[in-house]
Amino acid sequence: MTPEETAVLERLRAICLALPEVEERQSHGEPTWFIRGKRTLVMFCDHHHGARLGFWCPAAEGVQELRIEQDPDTFYRPPYVGVRGWLGVNLDDDPDWDDVQDMVRDAYRKVAPKTLVARLD
Q: pTM of this prediction?
A: 0.93
Task: Give me the pLDDT at residue 52, please.
Answer: 79
- Rounded to an integer, the average pLDDT of 8-35 is 95
Q: What is the pLDDT of residues 65-108, one digit of tens each?
A: 999 999 999 999 998 898 999 999 999 888 999 999 999 999 99
Nearest Cα to Cα of residue 93 among 54, 42, 46: 54
Q: Do the beta carbons of residue 42 and residue 14 sit within 8 Å?
A: no
Q: For residue 48, is pLDDT > 70?
A: no
Nearest Cα to Cα of residue 82 among 57, 46, 111: 57
